[in-house]
Amino acid sequence: MVVPPPTMGPIPAMPVDWIAPLMTDIPPQTPPAHTPQSIETGIAKAALRSELRAARREHVAALDDATRGLLFMRPPAPLAALVPQGAIVGLYHATAHEAPAHSYARHWQELGHTVALPRLSDTPNEDVAEPVVEFAEWTDMFEESDLEPGPFKMRQPKADAAPAEPTVLFIPLLGFTAAGDRLGQGGGHYDRWLADHPDTVRIGMAWDVQLRDELPTEPHDQRLHAIVTPTRFYEV
């Protein structure tokens, strides 16, 4: 006996009047201000960070002390041109393998600029459990009496140092491209600060070995206007 295939009747109409009231209960979606990191990009950035940290460490270890002391002594002329009179210059208190920033700090101070360093507060950001970065004045570049130990084994301005918002910011890098893309420590500290201060002139300081043809980037990544190395000045 041949069983006829079941016939399908017309698809019943959606009970619109039943579903519509539910739909109106859903609040309108606003796009997130910051897109979460994709797993692939996060893994790629983490791998690059360890590769670049090793490259930086080996490069610095291969320099003799006398040479190291002579590098990053004075900004090259095209870089100095990016720092207008009256600029508040943000620098960093370099760790052993970062591009040294001490001579630049003295230089800008001698020219009459206010010099500021990052200071990490314990106040968590409203949506991320990370310390917030602010900048505060650094005046004693010789004795460092106005600095104290902060998170990540970094020295930072004491709590009573006056806040100072850089108009020109020098940023330590793990990696950079000639197009101004940068890779930092991964805390998002600079990315967040720069997103809130879009008019700041951003200058990366790095060793030549930190140059890459390309770096993974995300929409939140803040690009640099220029990068200075011991042998090159890249203006984007």
Ligand X SMILES: Nc1ncnc2c1ncn2[C@@H]1O[C@H](COP(=O)(O)OP(=O)(O)OP(=O)(O)O)[C@@H](O)[C@H]1O
* Chain centroid offset of residue 110 CA: 27
User: Restricting to residues 62-121, which ones interact with ligand X according to CB under 6 A?
Assistant: none
Contact status: 37 vs ligand X (CB under 6 A): yes
The listed partner (ligand X, ligand FFO, none) that binds 195, CB under 5 to 8 Å by sort, is ligand X
3-state SS track over the chain: CCCCCCCCCCCCCCCHHHHHHHHHCCCCCCCCCCCCCCHHHHHHHHHHHHHHHHHHHHHHHCCCHHHHHHCCCCCCHHHHCCCCCCCEEECCCCCCCCCCCHHHHHHHHHCCCEEEEEEEEEEECCCCCCEEEEEEECCCCCCCCCEEECHHHCEEECCCCCECCCCEEEEECCEECCCCCEECCCCCHHHHHHHHCCCCEEEEECCHHHECCCCCCCCCCCCCCEEECCCCEEEC
Nearer to ligand FFO, 85 or 119 (CB): 119
Which x/- pattern over 156-195 shows residues binding ligand X (rule: CB under 6 A)?
---------------------------xxxxxxxxxx--x
Nearer to ligand FFO, 7 or 104 (CB): 104
Query: Contacting ligand X (CB under 6 A), which of 34, 53, 155, 225?
Result: 34
The listed partner (ligand FFO, ligand X, none) that binds 197, CB under 5 to 8 Å by sort, is none
CB of 172 to ligand FFO, least distance (A): 4
Contact status: 137 vs ligand X (CB under 6 A): no
In order of 1, 51, 56, 107, 154, the CA distances from 72 in angstroms are: 93, 23, 15, 11, 20
Query: Contacting ligand X (CB under 6 A), which of 47, 81, 128, 178?
Result: 128
Query: Contacting ligand FFO (CB under 6 A), which of 133, 194, 226, 228?
Result: 133
Query: Contacting ligand FFO (CB under 6 A), which of 98, 134, 165, 218?
Result: 98
Contact 162, 136 (CB under 8 A): yes
Sign of CA dihedral 98, 38, 189, 77: positive
CB of 123 to ligand X, least distance (A): 15
Query: Contacting ligand FFO (CB under 6 A), which of 182, 189, 202, 212?
Result: 189
CB of 85 to ligand X, least distance (A): 28
Tell me which residues touch ligand X (CB under 6 A): 34, 37, 45, 128, 183-192, 195, 218, 220-221
Tell me which residues touch ligand FFO (CB under 6 A): 53, 92-95, 97-98, 118, 120, 133, 152, 154, 172, 184-185, 187, 189-190
